[in-house]
């Protein structure tokens, strides 16, 4: 279903962009395909329109994303904090892509909130926080990239969508639906894909970059996690996988090496909920995927102050992996009285 944009918001954005501006595009910690695809796509369109743009992420993205045009110019705050903060402070307009509250950019949150720039939110997650001037928030959209495509369309910028832009948009649409395996029954998705293919998207090449660009270490890490760390709770139709920081070190972990791991248990016909619990520095993260009617977003929000979509959600817990696992088990019992 195509989003219906408020005409006043569209006109306000057009007015803000009527003259060349300094623009920073920002996305969330551990940027995924939708975050990277949406920021890179919009950045190139804005450059074509005569604006000066910078793309900033709090932390690194997976290595496979190097196939996207413009990724080499991204500022990673974890490595270049002294460039990331000025990029936010000097911006006249900030686009907040694929996140709905300042805390999602972690170390950049204060700079974002204190910035006097005109702020625009483009996102598809539930319950956006009121920290921007214009909000384009449509949770029914399967990805921020799909929403961005329609926003570009509404703004009359389709002539600026070239192969690079189209591939960045397609990348986000593909990765945020598990290669169109969940949250992907909206016919509009495939109408949009058809239009993107007309722009020259190399679908098979991009699919291979995501699915076949694995290192041996990544394969071994994922095999270890499934073989040794996956527990199945048949009474809840649930599988839980865990991974510690030490285990990641043992397998020479690199950003993106566990991308898609949480989806693997759902290939079993009797598993309807998959939970990946893993350590990241001094906290524990949860990644949840489901098939059917189990609401991962409600599970994540009610028990862990997380969020997401019905079939794909996440959360952060400032506790040990062991304690988090216990919390997950208690939550499962409550969800399955």
For residue 127, the model assigns a pLDDT of 87
**pLDDT tens string for the chain (337 positions)?**
889 999 999 999 999 999 999 999 999 999 999 999 999 999 999 999 999 999 999 999 998 999 999 999 999 999 999 999 999 999 999 999 999 999 999 999 999 999 999 999 999 998 899 999 999 999 999 999 999 999 999 999 999 999 999 999 999 999 999 899 888 999 999 999 999 999 999 999 999 998 877 889 999 999 999 999 999 999 999 999 999 999 999 999 999 999 899 999 999 999 999 999 999 988 999 999 999 899 999 999 999 999 888 889 999 999 999 999 999 999 999 998 7
Does domain 216-335 fall under CATH 3.10.310.30? My reply is yes
Residue 110, pLDDT score: 98
Q: Where are the domains of the chain?
A: 7-210, 216-335
**pLDDT value of residue 188:** 97
Looking at residue 214, its pLDDT comes to 84
Beta-carbon contacts of 8 under 8 Å, excluding residues fewer than 6 positions away, are: none
CA distance 271 to 265: 7
Q: What is the pLDDT of residue 302?
A: 95
pLDDT at residue number 36 = 98
pLDDT at 208: 93
What is the pLDDT at residue 182? 83
7-210 is classed CATH 3.90.1640.10: yes
């Amino acid at each position: 279903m195509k989003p219906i944009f408020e005409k006043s918001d569209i006109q306000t954005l057009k007015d803000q962009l009527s003259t060349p501006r300094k623009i920073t595009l920002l996305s969330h910690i551990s940027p995924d395909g939708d975050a990277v695809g949406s920021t890179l796509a919009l950045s190139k369109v804005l450059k074509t329109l005569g604006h000066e743009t910078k793309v900033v992420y709090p932390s690194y993205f997976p290595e496979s994303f190097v196939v996207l045009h413009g990724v080499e110019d991204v500022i990673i705050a974890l490595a270049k904090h002294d460039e990331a903060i000025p990029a936010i402070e000097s911006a006249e307009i900030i686009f907040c892509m694929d996140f709905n509250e300042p805390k999602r950019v972690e170390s950049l949150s204060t700079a974002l909130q204190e910035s006097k720039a005109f702020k625009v939110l483009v996102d598809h997650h539930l319950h956006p926080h009121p920290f921007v001037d214009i909000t384009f928030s449509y949770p029914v959209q399967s990805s921020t990239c799909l929403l961005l495509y329609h926003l570009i369309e509404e703004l009359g910028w389709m002539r600026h969508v070239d192969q690079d832009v189209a591939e960045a948009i397609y990348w986000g649409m593909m990765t945020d639906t598990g290669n169109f395996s969940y949250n992907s029954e909206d016919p509009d998705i495939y109408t949009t894909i058809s239009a993107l293919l007309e722009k020259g998207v190399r679908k098979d090449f991009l699919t291979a970059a995501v699915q076949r660009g694995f290192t041996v270490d990544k394969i071994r890490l994922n095999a270890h996690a499934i073989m040794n760390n996956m527990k199945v709770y048949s009474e809840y139709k649930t599988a839980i996988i865990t991974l510690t920081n030490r285990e990641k070190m043992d397998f020479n972990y690199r950003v993106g090496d566990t991308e898609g791991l949480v989806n693997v248990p759902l290939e079993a016909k009797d598993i309807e909920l998959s939970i990946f619990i893993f350590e990241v520095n001094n906290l524990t993260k949860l990644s949840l995927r489901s098939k059917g009617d189990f609401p991962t977003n409600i599970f994540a929000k009610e028990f862990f102050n997380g969020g997401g979509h019905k079939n794909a959600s996440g959360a952060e817990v400032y506790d040990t992996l062991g304690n988090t696992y216990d919390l997950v088990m208690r939550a499962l019992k409550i969800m399955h009285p």
